[in-house]
Chains A and B, each alone.
Chain A
Amino acid sequence: MKYLLVIPLLLLLACGQQQPASQETASAPLGGGQSTVKDETSKPDVVRIAVNSNVHKTLVAALQAAEYVDALSNAGPFTVFAPTDDAFAKLPTGTVENLVKPENKETLQNILEYHVYVGNIREEQIRDGMTLNQVNLDNVTLNVSADGKITINGANVIGSVSASNGTVYVIDTVLLPPDKK
């Protein structure tokens, strides 16, 4: 890969000023999910990379709508193909707006699952023609051109970031899973 994305940490740091938890009630607090763990020291996980990126706002919103933020904050490991905001903008009018509606959660989850592989595929492991069986159980195909450019189902990989729990590949097109038979 020619370049790595440089991720601003500003948003995350803005969240650092948390107030101490007050606990006046005798009832036990249940706590948030794994994404709420306060830790600015560790290497960012795939979710924090997306949250901290300024080109993945739509993806983060979609992950929230699909309730996958905590799952992707887990130990993983994950290989995430992360479409940029521009990639989402290429979808037909109204698509994203529809997908984030609660009644379309399953469809949205299926699409997002098609962007995630459980396992950390580092760039040097990618071979031309390699297939990965994604979380939704459909396959994606990776290709590597003679000059080293990587594509996934034809979408261009335009950057990659190593995360604490896997690798994020930034892609320029949203991957749409094949129709279920």
Chain B
Amino acid sequence: MKISRIILLVSIASLLIVLNSCKPKGPVGVTTGDAASKVYVAPGQYDEFYNFVSGGFNGQMAVYGLPSGRLFRNIPVFSEDPMSGWGYSEETKPMLMTSHGYIPWDDLHHPALSTTKGEHDGRWLFGNANNTPRVARIDLTTFRTAEIIEIPNSGGNHSSPFITENTEYVVAGTRFSIPLGDNRDVPISSYKENFKGSISFIKVNPETGRMNIEFQLRTPGFNYDLSRAGKGPSHGWFFFSCYNTEQAYTLLEVNASRNDKDFIMAVNWKKAEEYLAQGKGKKEKVKYAHNVYDERTHSATSKMIEEVTVLDVMEFPDIVYFIPCPKSPHGCDVDPSGEFIVGSGKLAAVMPVFSFGKIQTAITNKDYEGDFDGIPVIRYESALHGEVKKPGLGPLHTEFDAKGNAYTSFFVSSEIVKWNVKTLEILDRVPTYYSIGHLCVPGGPTAKPHGKYVIAYNKITKDRYLPTGPELTQSAQLYSIEGDKMQLLLDFPTIGEPHYAEALPASLIKDKSVKIYPIEHNEHPYAAKGEKMARVERKGNDVHVYMTAIRSHLTPDNIEGIRVGDNVYFHVTNLEQDWDVPHGFAIKGATNAEILIMPGETQTLLWKPLTPGVVPFYCTDFCSALHQEMQGYARVSPAGSNTPLKFSTGDTGGQK
């Protein structure tokens, strides 16, 4: 056959294809049949799963129901939330304190639900701050951020907050290596000699959930991306994906993609504990904030801590091993059995699955292909269970069901691929719309996946929703994984940018949800635990209003004697003891937000009046048929005036 004829054939073929692409878009022939009934949760019925979805650059954690995709709540974590007063009320401001001062925003990428014996226990939800390194703990009885700990010696907390089997530790691995130690003012070009990685192991109190940084590992200078703890046979180990093993410090787009393989770092944290017990850790001077919210005082405190214990892995070479992994790995996921570790090189066309047993054998036999800065590099083939061949383009992240299957997201080829962990055989693939990042199977990272669904978190939606200008919503897509083939059931938009998400059965937490804060347990120093205790006190330029709120009035609702230049603290106690009846408080001209006060709680809004006059305030949360009557006035007199301090509710001065 002549070449010209081939070209002609191909040209005709391509013309057909191009013409085909000119066909009207819109619904294609493929339909999903019973999809609607599978996601329909009738009015008044509950969803089966809670889905905790990171908000990315909104710094918050969103809570959805599955399978409906309904949004229940957006929990403020690292970012201020004027709606709830998070970061605006006096009580919550300390939660956002850091060694750099108060920070109103961060970038939350990954949730981690607490586990016991590798299974979800429904107690706490952890989240990472990617920018100014921190880890937060959310209490799943209140759905409120209960604690935030800053991570010293970290350049950006991406490899976090992954947890060990029994939530012994939450890890915080630095994404960016930075100069550590005493002299940090060094040329950027001295990356190789001066820049180091740092992995923090945060111990979690099994009773209270309280976090403290038990120790840090000082590691070679490159980028640490994601991680997973071992479980079952691999309990006691942690696995981290590492990229930029080229140690580039500029134009990483090019310079960090040169090596065919980067590393998965295997950490024997039990071994690290042994060295610590022997007193081998070095104390380093650092400064980091530890912020705790107390439900009795309804207030947060922020404490600066000035020391951390460091183990340099160069000095203890049996803590850490490298396993070569193609190519800029992102996901580093451990299957439910704890035996298999899936590396997802985001630029690679194969996916290696490593065997924990083989890794142990290789370590025993010193089956190394070399070392990196003195740390053994295990021979790739010796650690390998096998490769998933041609799985797709741009593998990112893998989760598992309880039937031995894995589900991997592929960013570049926009798809989820289902494959068998043991046989490495590809079983199914479905497109996502479009550009999936992480995915989530309920219980997918645990020893006992709940299965049923896989949810794709997509970066790009382009034509999937009604357009809203240059920026479109990110989205989640829900697929059934109950049958052999995955089935797309539902698209639903998300808040912020979803990175990772986790889901657990609602039954694990729904009955533990707090409904009210008992008023008799309120230990807030400015609480007015009854209208008789409502009052106004002046201390110099500070005016403290001990205010109560109950349907449908504020006490006091008439206040006089405030002067320009005062700091007026409205300490509002919600006297309601009734579920789902918060009150809100706002005052005109306050350069602040509102506060929302839960039943039995006290919250404080600071107001600095600038001009004389009478200023209204009111309840912002529609609470009753007479909500619109729930208001008051504050009289502001000029600085230095003698207007007497007066407060009242219902005092009409004898008028009828």
Bound pair (A, B): yes
Contact B13 A133 (CB under 8 A): no
A153 is an interface residue with CB less than 8 A from chain B: no
A104 is an interface residue with CB less than 8 A from chain B: no
Residues of A within 8 A of B413 (CB): 70-71, 74
> In whole angstroms, how far apart are the Cα atoms of A30 and B435 in the complex?
15
Question: Which residues between 126 and 167 of chain A lie within 8 Å of chain B, taking CB atoms?
Answer: 131, 133, 135-137
> In whole angstroms, how far apart are the Cα atoms of A34 and B260 in the complex?
29
> In whole angstroms, how far apart are the Cα atoms of A94 and B22 in the complex?
29
A-B contact count (CB 8 A): 165
Contact A34 B462 (CB under 8 A): yes
A9 is an interface residue with CB less than 8 A from chain B: no
Contact A21 B27 (CB under 8 A): yes
B347 is an interface residue with CB less than 8 A from chain A: yes
Q: Which of B28-36, B127-135, B446-454, B512-520 contacts A (4 or more CB under 8 A)?
A: B28-36
Residues of A within 8 A of B348 (CB): 137
> In whole angstroms, how far apart are the Cα atoms of A180 and B24 in the complex?
42
Contact B488 A133 (CB under 8 A): no
**With A20-B26, A57-B11, A75-B459 as contacts: A119 and B21 at CB distance below 8 Å:** no
Q: Which of B1-9, B87-95, B537-545, B635-643 contacts A (4 or more CB under 8 A)?
A: B1-9
Residues of B within 8 A of A14 (CB): 22
Contact B434 A74 (CB under 8 A): yes
Number of interface residues of B (CB under 8 A): 57
Contact A15 B431 (CB under 8 A): no
Contact B326 A137 (CB under 8 A): yes
Residues of A within 8 A of B13 (CB): 61, 64, 100
Contact A27 B31 (CB under 8 A): yes
> In whole angstroms, how far apart are the Cα atoms of A133 and B262 in the complex?
13
Instruction: Name the CB-closest residue of B to A86.
Output: B7
**With A33-B431, A118-B347 as contacts: A75 and B460 at CB distance below 8 Å:** yes
> In whole angstroms, how far apart are the Cα atoms of A21 and B260 in the complex?
45
**With A58-B7, A89-B3 as contacts: A34 and B414 at CB distance below 8 Å:** yes
* 8 Å CB contact of B25 from A36, A60, A137: A36
Contact B414 A70 (CB under 8 A): yes
Contact A74 B18 (CB under 8 A): no
Q: Which of B102-110, B223-231, B251-259 contacts A (4 or more CB under 8 A)?
A: B251-259
Shortest CB distance A39–B (Å): 7
Residues of B within 8 A of A58 (CB): 7, 10-11, 14
Instruction: Name the CB-closest residue of B to A109.
Output: B390
A11 is an interface residue with CB less than 8 A from chain B: yes
* 8 Å CB contact of B393 from A21, A121, A135: A135
Contact B26 A30 (CB under 8 A): no
A28 is an interface residue with CB less than 8 A from chain B: yes
Instruction: Name the CB-closest residue of A to B488.
Output: A30
Shortest CB distance A122–B (Å): 10
> In whole angstroms, how far apart are the Cα atoms of A54 and B206 in the complex?
67
Instruction: Name the CB-closest residue of A to B256.
Output: A119
> In whole angstroms, how far apart are the Cα atoms of A22 and B27 in the complex?
7
**With A58-B14, A96-B10, A133-B260 as contacts: A29 and B26 at CB distance below 8 Å:** yes
Shortest CB distance A74–B (Å): 5
Residues of B within 8 A of A21 (CB): 24-27
Contact A93 B6 (CB under 8 A): yes
Contact B257 A133 (CB under 8 A): yes
Shortest CB distance B39–A (Å): 10
Contact B412 A71 (CB under 8 A): yes
Residues of B within 8 A of A31 (CB): 25, 28, 433, 463-464
Chain B, residues 36-52, CB within 8 Å of chain A (1/0): the string is 10000000000000000
Residues of B within 8 A of A88 (CB): 7, 10
Contact B1 A32 (CB under 8 A): no
> In whole angstroms, how far apart are the Cα atoms of A113 and B17 in the complex?
21
> In whole angstroms, how far apart are the Cα atoms of A16 and B146 in the complex?
53
Chain A, residues 1-42, CB within 8 Å of chain B (1/0): the string is 000000000010011001111110111111111111111000
Residues of A within 8 A of B17 (CB): 60-61, 64
> In whole angstroms, how far apart are the Cα atoms of A21 and B24 in the complex?
7
> In whole angstroms, how far apart are the Cα atoms of A133 and B9 in the complex?
33
Instruction: Name the CB-closest residue of B to A16.
Output: B22
**With A11-B18, A14-B22, A64-B17 as contacts: A27 and B32 at CB distance below 8 Å:** yes
B385 is an interface residue with CB less than 8 A from chain A: no
Shortest CB distance B11–A (Å): 5
**Listed residue (A34, A70, A106, A136) with the most chain B CB atoms within 10 angstroms of its CB:** A34
Question: Which residues between 237 and 272 of chain B lie within 8 Å of chain A, taking CB atoms?
Answer: 251, 253-254, 257-258, 260
Instruction: Name the CB-closest residue of B to A34.
Output: B434
Shortest CB distance B326–A (Å): 7
Question: Which residues between 410 and 437 of chain B lie within 8 Å of chain A, taking CB atoms?
Answer: 411-414, 431, 433-435
Chain B, residues 326-360, CB within 8 Å of chain A (1/0): the string is 11000000000000000000011110000000000
Residues of A within 8 A of B459 (CB): 75
Residues of B within 8 A of A25 (CB): 27, 31
Contact B257 A70 (CB under 8 A): no
Instruction: Name the CB-closest residue of B to A125.
Output: B254
Contact B349 A136 (CB under 8 A): yes
Shortest CB distance B643–A (Å): 62
* 8 Å CB contact of A19 from B24, B28, B254, B349: B24
Shortest CB distance B26–A (Å): 2
Contact B28 A29 (CB under 8 A): yes
Shortest CB distance B88–A (Å): 36
A97 is an interface residue with CB less than 8 A from chain B: yes
B220 is an interface residue with CB less than 8 A from chain A: no
A80 is an interface residue with CB less than 8 A from chain B: no
Contact B35 A97 (CB under 8 A): no
Contact B14 A119 (CB under 8 A): no
Contact B414 A33 (CB under 8 A): yes
B65 is an interface residue with CB less than 8 A from chain A: no
B394 is an interface residue with CB less than 8 A from chain A: yes
> In whole angstroms, how far apart are the Cα atoms of A83 and B292 in the complex?
61
**Listed residue (B10, B348, B394) with the most chain A CB atoms within 10 angstroms of its CB:** B10
Shortest CB distance A25–B (Å): 6
Contact B414 A74 (CB under 8 A): yes
> In whole angstroms, how far apart are the Cα atoms of A87 and B347 in the complex?
27
> In whole angstroms, how far apart are the Cα atoms of A153 and B31 in the complex?
46
> In whole angstroms, how far apart are the Cα atoms of A110 and B459 in the complex?
27
> In whole angstroms, how far apart are the Cα atoms of A113 and B347 in the complex?
11
> In whole angstroms, how far apart are the Cα atoms of A70 and B462 in the complex?
13
Question: Which residues between 306 and 334 of chain B lie within 8 Å of chain A, taking CB atoms?
Answer: 326-327
> In whole angstroms, how far apart are the Cα atoms of A51 and B19 in the complex?
11
Shortest CB distance B497–A (Å): 13
Residues of B within 8 A of A18 (CB): 22, 24-25
**With A31-B433, A119-B253 as contacts: A137 and B18 at CB distance below 8 Å:** no
> In whole angstroms, how far apart are the Cα atoms of A29 and B32 in the complex?
7
Residues of A within 8 A of B414 (CB): 33-34, 70-71, 74
Given contacts A61-B17, A62-B10, A93-B1, 18 further A-B contacts (CB under 8 A): A15-B21, A21-B26, A21-B27, A30-B488, A32-B28, A33-B414, A34-B433, A37-B462, A37-B463, A58-B11, A58-B14, A60-B18, A64-B14, A85-B7, A96-B6, A100-B10, A119-B347, A125-B254
Can you report 5 A-B residue pairs in the complex whose CB atoms are below 8 A from each other? A29-B27, A60-B18, A76-B412, A89-B6, A93-B2
Q: Interface residues, chain A, CB within 8 Å of chain B?
A: 11, 14-15, 18-23, 25-39, 51, 57-58, 60-62, 64, 70-71, 74-77, 85, 88-89, 91, 93-94, 96-97, 100, 106, 109, 113, 118-121, 125, 131, 133, 135-137
The 7 closest A-B pairs by CB, nearest first: A21-B26, A27-B31, A29-B27, A61-B14, A19-B24, A15-B22, A37-B462
